Structure 1
Amino acid sequence: MPDELEKFSCVVPSRTIEPLIAELAGTFKDIAGFSVLVLQVEAVLPEIPELEELSSSPSGERKPPSKLEVFFTRDRISTNELYDDIEASLVLRPNYLLTVVLSALIAALGMRSGQTAVVIGAMIIAPLLGPTMAMAMAATLGDRSLGRRSMVTLTVGILAALAFTFALGMFIEVDPLVAELRNRTIVHPADIALALACGAAGVLAFSQGASLSLVGVMIAVALVPPIAAAGLFFGSGEHILGFRALFLLATNLVCINVAGIVTFLVQGLPPRNWRITSGIFLIWLAILLLFIGLVGGRFAIGGNSPLFSNVTSSAAGTPAAR
């Protein structure tokens, strides 16, 4: 190579990329010009035997991986690749805010008119994958910087969507009894299961290097509709229903993080500090258990608490409910 550099290329299974990069960085990080470029290989001819067969040493210097090591080193892209995939989505660009606002407005209009297909279309364009996945990834790795950036990006996006759907709710008629809106005001156990499944499936697909648009739909299905519904309700004066939609949003966000951390760990993402990772996970889990307790007690306190009362009684004074 130019400048007296040397280039080495190798083909390795996906599950070995993580330890390989760590070993190379530990050995050559102080050498000027050192870099590692990871590319996905679609096909190799002729076929290459498994790495374990190639690396087995007759002298016994390196032991073959145990079944436990093989299980926790899944076929996923490396941590460096995850960082690269998620980095661009954490920058607060005008396009990010514009897309978040447009997706929330489309979802709000779709729910108001009861058009499920329009709501699904809003989820496809919602750019909430990056900050949401980054929160779970930061908690798993114990990366405080990544966690702060993801929280700022996600919070700004949510506030922007709430502000514009709030303005929309002030100028259009909102019927709280429309099924698409009513469903965002009550948290059912099925909603918790859905959010957990979305978080786990999203992380599983993301760690495999799947299409970001596909993974984004899994995350947006749990976040965009509650945000849009809350903005509409607040704008139309239905504050209790707005807070209930925000409760659904908070529940979904907690579920995504709990499922995301667990799935990242199962995928073999190595925490930098287990104390930080376990502490953050226990906090998220405690919040989730609190929310589950509130959902479980909804029917017991529904007649006395306006926050958990029936949507019909909450909207009884509106023209649409008469």
Structure 2
Amino acid sequence: MDNKVTPARRKQVIRDNVAGWLFTFPSTLVLFAFTFLPAFIVVGLSLFDTNLVGQSDFVGLGNFRQMLTSGDFWGSVLRTLYFTLGSVPVAVAVSLLIAVLLNAKVRGRTFWRMGFFIPYITPLVATSIIWLYIFNPDYGMLNAALHFLGLPVSRWLTDTVSAMPAMILYSTWHDIGFAVIIFMAALSKVPTELLEAAQIDGASGWKTFWHVTWPMISPSTYFVVIIYTISAFKMFTQVAVLTQGGPVDATTTTGYYLYQQAFGQMHFGYASAVSIGLFVIIFLLTVLQRRVTGRKVFYG
């Protein structure tokens, strides 16, 4: 059989390749302009002591040395880790519980799905402003509900102890809609014959979930944990609206610390180094999660 490519076929392949590149060029251009180019600029700025409007001095790795020896930077990292460890497990557990409940045949299931998903697609600024009133220690709905139930009230965002838990509460409420949709899609793909076999063997509902349902949806769980962890470490908007990093830096996460250095003190070179440091931390955490939990994921 002759496998020689004819001139006509060669021209057709070239035309197809050119057409493909032309179709992808607009999206490639946008990706380069708004992702890769800013990343290159940040790497370059991290080597300078600059405020972008005056003199720029080349300092090499000086910004990185300053970052690694800064107590404020490591304090922001610890607060971000606190927020991540407090919000991600809670958000995953609550969203999974809601997905399991909604996966059953309940009345108004579509309404409840929309109700849980709407906060996620609503802009953070808008919902953060609403929660400012909910968290208000004097006339907020949350303290009013606690008072009605006879429970102690809190200063919430104005107290160093309760400020971060308040951020965790708000972020969990805002973000669970995304995971609920992912988990519901995963639950709908669990083979019914496996669930029926477990019931025939006399397994309880909890054992069926733990030994059948949970392993089958482990890829979705792994995906949600990774996405939520990355999102938690990049947290900025809710801090900027709700607390501005306070009280007494109790909610100054690494993302907000970066913003303060760049636009508060005009240390754009140092802020660029912090952004690279944040990227490295997120990358290392993702690799760690993949090594620790990735091997436990069941891909059936």
TM-score in terms of structure 1 length: 0.27
TM-score in terms of structure 2 length: 0.28
Flag the structure with higher helix content. Answer: 2
Task: From the CA coordinates, give the structure whose radius of gyration is larger.
Answer: 2
